[in-house]
């Protein structure tokens, strides 16, 4: 059984830890609100751009573009978007589990976030490029990632590109997701709200006229579409990270408070027992003197 002094030391140590986790919870909560707002505000635009892309590429007759070319997949690239820091529960574990499904021999990784790069190095996978992004992702941070992946595809270094990212659902729920990036086409692995199915698109007989021509319009559209797709993925990743960290720190704070309560109760019982024992010894000594 621990002594009162040892119990006091434990209580003090856990209290200090609880203060740290409570502060981290408050910081994460503040960042979480901003990240969630940015993600939710961007989703409608990204979804609209995806629907425009599907309509345009489906109805542009006899139009071909290198970014639409479907090839036999001999080698693929995976854009893996992780976090810079830990303390966010099982977020990275679930993300890396999704990334592990790809064959290391035929897959190269493009990472964003330190934890993603560390995972690739630790598991001996091929790293093609490493990027960073801030707590408030900007469109300018997404462009280099999209450009690098696009260039690899156009040069024939890879035959397809996929994105592995944590999708923000709500504060308590985040889900590792895989989505198609290149070649440009239908996103099958990730549900896009409001997007028509391929059958619905094919049944649409509306005639579309592209000015000045389909090549100019779609080439312009593709560049923005790829940039926005990566930008949205960065926002989803950051909202998921801050939400998971806030919940994780709250759980740590609650657990520390519960442990402090139990140790304080044990300390008080032990202290009361020692006081009672001392009183009995004093009373016994006085009776002996009489």
Considering the chain, what percentage of its residues have pLDDT values greater than 70? Answer: 85
C-alpha distances out from residue 116 to 99, 113, 214, Å: 10, 6, 38
Under the banding of pLDDT at 50, 70 and 90, the label for residue 199 is: low
Report helix, strand or coil for 113: coil
Report helix, strand or coil for 204: coil
Own/partner pairs for 25-33, CB < 8 Å, 24+ apart? 25/246, 25/249, 25/250, 25/253, 28/242, 28/245, 28/246, 28/249, 29/246, 31/135, 31/242, 32/171, 32/239, 32/242, 32/243, 32/245, 32/246
Judged by average pLDDT, the poorest of 12-26, 47-61, 81-95, 129-143 is: 47-61
Query: DSSP label at 249?
Result: H
Query: pLDDT value at position 258?
Result: 86
Query: pLDDT value at position 77?
Result: 96
Which carries the bigger pLDDT value, residue 169 or residue 217?
Answer: 169
For residues 255 and 144, give the distance between their C-alpha atoms in angstroms, rounded to a whole number.
Answer: 42
Query: pLDDT value at position 208?
Result: 64
Query: pLDDT value at position 227?
Result: 93
Averaged pLDDT of the chain: 84
Query: pLDDT value at position 20?
Result: 87
Q: Where is mean pLDDT largest: 4-13, 161-170, 264-273?
A: 161-170
pLDDT tops 60 at residue 289: no
For residues 45 and 69, give the distance between their C-alpha atoms in angstroms, rounded to a whole number.
Answer: 25
For residues 24 and 75, give the distance between their C-alpha atoms in angstroms, rounded to a whole number.
Answer: 42
Closest to 180 (Cα-Cα) out of 23, 68, 15: 68
Query: DSSP label at 88?
Result: S
For residues 104 and 125, give the distance between their C-alpha atoms in angstroms, rounded to a whole number.
Answer: 6
DSSP assignment of 114-129 equals HHHHHHHHHTT-EEEE
Phi then psi dihedrals of residue 134, to 5 deg:
-90, 180
Q: Look up the pTM and report it.
A: 0.82
Strand partners, 175: 167
Judged by average pLDDT, the poorest of 148-157, 224-233, 253-262, 278-287 is: 278-287
Query: pLDDT value at position 248?
Result: 85
Question: Are 106 and 74 in contact, with CB atoms under 8 Å apart?
Answer: yes
How many C-beta neighbours within 10 Å does residue 172 have? 9
How many C-beta neighbours within 10 Å does residue 25 have? 21
Phi then psi dihedrals of residue 115, to 5 deg:
-65, -35
For residues 90 and 107, give the distance between their C-alpha atoms in angstroms, rounded to a whole number.
Answer: 24
For residues 182 and 162, give the distance between their C-alpha atoms in angstroms, rounded to a whole number.
Answer: 7
């Amino acid at each position: 059984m621990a002594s009162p002094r040892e119990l006091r030391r434990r209580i003090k140590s856990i209290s200090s830890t609880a203060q740290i986790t409570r502060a981290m919870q408050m910081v994460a909560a503040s960042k979480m609100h901003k990240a969630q707002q940015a993600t939710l505000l961007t989703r409608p635009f990204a979804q609209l751009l995806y629907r425009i892309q599907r309509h345009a590429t489906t109805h542009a007759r006899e139009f071909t573009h290198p970014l639409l070319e479907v090839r036999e997949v001999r080698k693929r690239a995976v854009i893996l978007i992780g976090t810079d820091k830990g303390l966010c529960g099982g977020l990275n574990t679930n993300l890396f589990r999704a990334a592990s499904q790809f064959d290391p021999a035929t897959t190269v990784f493009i990472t964003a976030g330190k934890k993603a790069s560390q995972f690739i190095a630790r598991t001996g996978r091929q790293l093609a490029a490493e990027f960073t992004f801030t707590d408030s992702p900007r469109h300018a941070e997404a462009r280099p990632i999209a450009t690098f992946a696009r260039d690899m595809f156009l040069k024939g270094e890879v035959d397809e590109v996929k994105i592995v990212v944590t999708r923000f659902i709500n504060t308590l729920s985040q889900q590792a997701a895989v989505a198609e990036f290149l070649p440009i086409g239908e996103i099958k692995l990730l549900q896009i709200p409001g997007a028509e199915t391929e059958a619905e698109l094919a049944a649409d007989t509306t005639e579309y006229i592209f000015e000045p021509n389909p090549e100019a319009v779609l080439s312009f559209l593709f560049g923005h579409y790829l940039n926005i797709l990566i930008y949205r993925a960065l926002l989803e990743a950051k909202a998921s990270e801050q939400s998971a960290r806030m919940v994780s720190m709250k759980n740590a704070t609650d657990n520390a408070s519960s442990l402090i309560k139990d140790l304080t109760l044990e300390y008080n019982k032990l202290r009361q027992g020692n006081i009672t024992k001392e009183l009995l010894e004093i009373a016994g000594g006085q009776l002996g003197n009489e």
